[in-house]
Amino acid sequence: MTLRPAPARLALLALIALPLAGCDSAAMTDLRRNIGIEQPEPEPEEPAQPRAPAVSPLEQPIETGAEAPRVIPGAEPVTYNARAFIARGNEPFWRVDISDGTATYKTPENQAGRGISVNRIVFADGVEYVGVLDGRPFVVNLRAQECQDTMADEKFPLTASLTVRGQKLAGCGQTATVTTQTAETEAEATEG
């Protein structure tokens, strides 16, 4: 036999709970704070919105605020902005024309040159082009430092070095355009 509460008992329970439900929330909050149950709710924070830097990262490094600011060298503007270069050296004579991801390596034995696919790497003092020639590293490094050609007594705006077949060769360089390279190549062909 199951006992069911009488409807009168349910009404009595409802009448007892009604005054407790009627307490205002402010009084309950004060009561909870006084006995240490409720902590004040923190104000919701708005998420940080991304914003563009005030100056170019080439002129001033970007600070993230994660650690104390430190000087980070930016890219050298002359080599960073140029996309074509001519590098050359003496003893042994060599020349590399760089444009559109290809370096054309020329020597007295191969005056037409050999095309090598290269990747561009920008660094603080200049730019470097790296590829593979005959299974070995082919690297042309150009720095924004004035260079004196020892044979022609001519000054160039860039110092160049070429690493080819395990040898590191020194030389000079300059920025170029595709039309400059084409005109110089045609002039060399008519001279020879």
Q: Around 63, how many Cα atoms within 13 Å sit in the side-chain half-sphere?
A: 8
Q: What is the Cα–Cα distance from 75 to 123, expressed in whole angstroms? A: 6
Per-residue model confidence (pLDDT) at position 32: 66
Say whether pLDDT at 64 is over 70: no
Share of the chain above pLDDT 90, in %: 38
pLDDT, one tens digit per residue, over 161-180 is: 999 999 999 999 999 875 54
Say whether pLDDT at 132 is over 90: yes
Q: Please tell me the pTM assigned to this model.
A: 0.55
| CA 67 vs CA 62, 63, 64, 75: distances in Å | 12, 9, 8, 22
The mean pLDDT value for 24-30 works out to: 64
Per-residue model confidence (pLDDT) at position 89: 93
Residues whose CB is less than 8 angstroms from the CB of residue 133 and which lie 6 or more positions away in sequence, other chains included: 105, 114, 116, 164, 165
The mean pLDDT value for 30-49 works out to: 67
